[in-house]
Amino acid sequence: MSTTVEQINESKVQVRMEGVYKSFPKGNRQNQVLRDINLEIKKGEFISLLGPSGCGKSTLLKMIGGLLESTSGQLMVGNDVMKGPRKEIGFMFQKAVLLPWRTVEQNLLLPVEIAGGNIAAAKSRIHELLELVGLKGYESYYTKELSGGMQQRISLARTLINDPDILLLDEPFGALDEFTRENLNFSLMDIAEKSGKTVILVTHNINEAVLMSDRVIVMGINPGHILEDLKIGIPKPRTDQAMAMTQYSEHVLHIRSLLGVGRS
């Protein structure tokens, strides 16, 4: 059964930002990184934050994850003002950051150990998670035995180990070759669709953002701000055929125009 963002939007708002600004001290002054961010993200949506380097995408993601505080404005997750990291939010960074002296299983258990969670319950989920990311049977492997793409799959499984409601992904596959990256993108879409989790992805890739997302938040620079909140509207589940649709091409060209990419 296909779904659309309109169907998703019947659910509740999970992340809300109202008049959010972010500045960092620079010498005797404040360097404004984000300006007047107003955004609502509903449960189950797949959102991409897209824009050039320096537009504050990663800063905004870290604020949603509770790793940074806003300078002003209000940022809420559910009914609570965001004041720090929360268990229901999983964060995947650009690098896998796996511990080489630990096996795959031991790396997956690390967030549970740090949080003082139920190790036995987490162990029972490991086989399921590895199957979900296409690495069933790799529990006893060490990271040096895995390719870069496999390590990123392990990192994704680790992000899922505590079963978070919201997944925050900061260009998780950016360092991989195009073929591995595309396969992992489809794996991520499958996981999002099967689990119903809210996903917020930071990316520089226009085609990737349009293919994967329910909405693409296009951002500009100096300081970072929202240029457009673009609804994609292509039915799910999406396959390679989505990229042949007129709607897909129109979205890509529109975003390129917004960002001043290419020649007319």
* pLDDT tens digits, one per residue of 196-205: 899 999 999 9
Q: Which residue ranges form the domains of the chain, and what is each CATH number?
A: 1-88+166-264 (3.40.50.300), 92-163 (no CATH)
State the Cα–Cα distance between residues 49 and 216, nearest whole angstrom.
6
SS3 64: helix
- Per-position DSSP letters for 70-131, written without gaps between them: -SEEEEEETTEE--S--TTEEEE-SS----TTSBHHHHHHHHHHHHT--HHHHHHHHHHHHH
Going by the DSSP 8-state scheme, the letter that residue 142 receives in this structure is B
Tokens of 147: 């390719």
pLDDT in tens, 42-52: 999 999 999 99
- How many residues does this entry show for the chain? 264
> pLDDT tens digits for 164-206?
999 999 988 877 788 888 888 888 898 888 888 999 999 999 9
Whether 87 contacts 163, CB under 8 Å: no
pLDDT of residue 21: 95
Residue 8 has pLDDT above 90, yes or no: no
Provide the 8-state DSSP code for 151: H
φ/ψ bin of 34: left (φ > 0), alpha (ψ from -120 to 50), beta (otherwise): beta
User: pTM for this structure?
Assistant: 0.89
Contact 61, 90 (CB under 8 A): no
pLDDT tens figures, 71-81 = 999 999 988 88
Query: Largest Cα–Cα distance of the chain, in whole Å?
Result: 58
pLDDT by residue (tens digit) across 51-63? 999 999 999 999 9
C-alpha distances (whole Å) from 222 to each of 59, 64, 68, 251 are 14, 21, 20, 24
